[in-house]
Structure 1
Amino acid sequence: MSTSPEPHRAPTGPSDTLPLRNGMHIPVLGLGVFRSPAGRVTQQAVTAALDVGYRHIDTAAIYGNEADVGHGLRDSGLDRDQVFITTKLWKADHGYQSTLDAFERSRRQLSVDHIDLYLIHWPVPGIRLETWRAMEHLLDTGAARAIGVSNYMAHHLEELLDHARHLPSVNQIELSPYNYRSRADVIDLSRKNGILVEAYSPLTKGRKLDDPPLVRIAATHQRSTAQVLIRWALQHDLVVLAKSTHADRIADNADVFDFTLTDTEMETLDALDENLVTGWDPTTAP
């Protein structure tokens, strides 16, 4: 089964976009703030990212730093509509009214009048379809400009596709060369239904940055292994979420638009698959 669609125009910078199903566009590179500590560290990471051209910030209620993302956005001096903000509904807040209440808490924490992309963070069994009805309401009212899911595997998506009035715009899952082929089913199902795939933890939380095949490819291009992993994801038409709180690394992660991996290098990277999971493993979630 193929996981490589016909590519869009090759992105030339972090603010370049891919289209969502509802006509919106999402920047191809986002700053993830998972485990970024609340306070100045996250605020400064956000402003550093926006300073070097990122226009996409990805947070979540459970991260505890939504207010700092909003603070960083205000400090940047950019207009609200210049930055694409994603946040997520946590497991404990599933259910129709609970979802609406959680959305409002996130919106207040971020100090914004709308959220560009609101995601179900985890496919909680038994109640996630009721939750999706609330997500659809948020989309209908314009409070959320787009809605989607995170950590949904093929069986979770199939259930939702059978019941949804509005299909998700995005499915955000852990992806790197070390699990890309293992997740071909959910990638292909998403794409078949017009659902854009986002890659979180593309840098494998550092576990594979010294892997010899990856190191060799990076040396060929005189790039870091982290930059090669981000470039690999971009060439697979994924939206990439790279996490760092260090301004120099944030800038390095965005410096990936002036080189191209060859078809042979992409195939070599794809072949590194070992079904690696560095965080939550949703494959066994009912």
Structure 2
Amino acid sequence: MRDVCVIGGNRYFGKRLIQRLLNAGVHVTVVNRGSSAPPDGAVHLVADRDVEAALADALGSRTFDVVVDQVCYTPRQAEIARRVFAGRTRRYVMTSTVEVYEHEDSADLIREDAVDPRDIAVDLALPWDDTAFLESNYGEGKRQAEAVFARGPGFPYAAVRVAHVLGGDDDFTGRLDHYAERIRAGEPIAVPLANRSATYEYVEEIAAFLEWAAGAEFTGPVNAAAHGRLTTADICAEVAALTGGTVEFRPTESGPFSPFSFDRSYGMDNSLAEKLGFRFGRSREWLGRAVAETVGPGTGEAK
């Protein structure tokens, strides 16, 4: 693996992936709309990946060993990528999500075969360009994007179904800050009446996983999650220990719930990835560090 193209990936674990690749001596080309520059050492191509001709023109005659697509959210984007990168790459890795399992609810950890992308109907006519629609159909967009690649992408593909990610002083989601603000102020935290546990990933580990997946040979979907489930109480206990605040939960029958509060199972089985050769850490071993990186003690502002 000498030449990798990363689509998007200029923030959070994406930029960590790019830096890991550069540190390993890989030639990295980053494609984005120009909103931010990649780390030093990467080639930067500016293009809107939603515009097929613009993406193809930006790539020119370049070919790659692997493409890692960090920002494929819809089947339309997958269709464009399938056409543009056919003949340009020997492998394609799409960053997917645990949200593809949003209709699953099991006390057992969920395996990849619970959602087979070959069985997912694709509807390109849906309003995927509408931001509100896309936000409320995030899991469906990822499922259909996976389905497009599964039905003959023109190259071997893998879909990394990423658990909810914690850690880093650049976590832009604000989810841990949500807890920190309420715990410091002694405000109640809304959770479901039956608040389920979930599996998570550490920001540094998922970057390492994507680097590993880029250099591997497996195809199809694979779950990426640390060992061990966490509850909202587990996360809040770490926040409270750091900030000195008080945790008060307010169980409610219907949402909106606080982040990382689930009324159904969100646990992913990671045994396939481990069988393929990756070794995950345990969430309880890095949870305190992840919270400290994001929240920090004192002011209530993220570091």
- Which of these two proteins has the greater Rg computed from alpha carbons? 2
> Comparing both structures, which one devotes a greater share of its residues to helix?
1
